[in-house]
Amino acid sequence: MPTPAIELRHVTKRFLTPSGTAYTALRDLDLAVGDGEFCAVVGPTGCGKSTTLALISGLELPSEGEVLVGGAPVQRVGRDVGYVFQVDAVFPWKSVLDNVATGPRFRGINRREAEERARDWIKRVGLAGFERYYPHQLSGGMRKRAALAQTLINEPRFLLMDEPFSALDVQTRTLMENELLQLWSATRASVVFVTHDLEEAIALADRVVVITAGPGTVKGVYRVDLPRPRNVAEIRFQPEFSRIYQEIWNDLRDEVLVSYERSKRVVS
């Protein structure tokens, strides 16, 4: 087997809680993403999905175990990593153009070339004409597009996405999912895509990983053998899709229930 693009080996991550005790977010998590593979990660809320991405990106380091990206252990934020955050992370004081050009500028490319490339990416994500707008003047969907362009302009070999479309309405979402697949097929980056929408996971990914309710560990891994190129809007109606959906849902449901019961207990 060739070396995976991204690999987590027996990873445990503990956080210090405000009360001073240690909270285990991930426990003994194993995950491998092949080169050019689109891997979706699903799991109930609070199970450690965002934490997993933070570990791969190098923003956080594991308490135990190893994280390897491109075969090398992660020690700091990697150059080849792109990360679309769960919450808005575009810079509010920069226009769309400046936001998208930020990556190349940080990487030492001169302003003219950076802006030229930024314009190209702005067009590709469908924001042409909004170059001079500030984030607060855009809709939520447009801000996500800007964030996508800001990340993709660096041409990351490893692309991490944290529920990028969860705040969008269904139509916009389907549209952007298709666009993402198109952009990805041109780059062939290795993708880890976090979502708690199982349909989205199956429609986009080659493989779906189910994480258990916190502390998170891998509950199951499923291949999605649906042909590409895919049309996200139509793929849901294929019999194979519902079969995979049933299979994964059986696993996921238990975890979601566990997580739900816990949250009820906290409330009452």
Ligand X SMILES: Nc1ncnc2c1ncn2[C@@H]1O[C@H](COP(=O)(O)OP(=O)(O)OP(=O)(O)O)[C@@H](O)[C@H]1O
Could you list the residues that contact other proteins (CB under 8 A)? 57, 59, 77, 79, 81-83, 85, 87-95, 102-103, 106-107, 134-136, 150-151, 154
Check: CB of residue 14 under 8 Å from CB of residue 25. yes
Task: Provide, rounded to whole angstroms, the least separation between the CB of residue 178 and ligand X.
Answer: 24
Least spacing, CB of residue 95 vs other proteins, in Å = 8
Distance CA 141, CA 67 (A): 32
Does 50 engage in binding with Mg ion (CB under 5 A)? yes
Using the minimum distance from each CB to Mg ion, give the nearer residue, 86 or 187. Answer: 86
Residue 77's binding partner among Mg ion, other proteins, ligand X, none (Cβ under 5 to 8 angstroms by kind) is other proteins
What does the binding site for ligand X look like in residue numbers (CB under 6 A)?
15, 17, 23, 25, 43, 45-51, 86, 196, 214
Q: Which is nearer to Mg ion, 54 or 235 (CB)?
A: 54
Smallest gap from residue 228 Cβ to other proteins (A)? 28
Nearer to ligand X, 32 or 47 (CB): 47
Q: Which of ligand X, other proteins, Mg ion, none interacts with 154 (beta carbon under 5 to 8 A by kind)?
A: other proteins
Size of the site for Mg ion (CB under 5 A): 2
Residue 57: name its binding partner from other proteins, Mg ion, ligand X, none (Cβ under 5 to 8 Å by kind).
other proteins
Smallest distance from ligand X to CB 100, Å? 25
Among the listed residues 46, 148, 56, 170, the one whose alpha carbon sits nearest the alpha carbon of residue 99? 148
Q: Which residues 6+ apart lie within 8 Å of 78 measured at CB?
A: 57, 58, 69, 70, 158
